[in-house]
Amino acid sequence: MDVFTLSAIRTWVFAARNGRCPLAMLRSGFSSRHVTDTLLAFLCAMTLLDRHGYGTMRFA
């Protein structure tokens, strides 16, 4: 699941920076892993981090 999460984050950043729709680009990956119910929360979290995340963030 860690590889999927990192890939989803990178896909979201690519989509957001290149004028593409993150939802459209991520939907199939979340669907194939049967976690579509988490897609909206993921999109919201990424948007909040993008707009309000300042400084260095470290994740363990």
Q: What is the DSSP annotation of 4-31?
A: HHHHHHHHHHHHHHTT--HHHHHHHHHH
| Confidence label for 58 from pLDDT (cuts 50, 70 and 90) | confident
Say what the pTM is. 0.84
25 inside domain: yes
Residue 55 lies in a domain: no
Residue 57: predicted pLDDT:
76
At 1-38, the pLDDT tens digits run 689 999 999 999 999 999 999 999 999 999 999 999 99
Domain interval for residue 6: 2-50
Residue 59 pLDDT > 80 = no
Between CA 11 and CA 50 the distance in angstroms is 13
13: in domain: yes
For position 53, what pLDDT does the model report? 84
Instruction: Look at residue 36 and tell me if it is in a domain.
Output: yes
**Structural domain tally of the chain?**
1
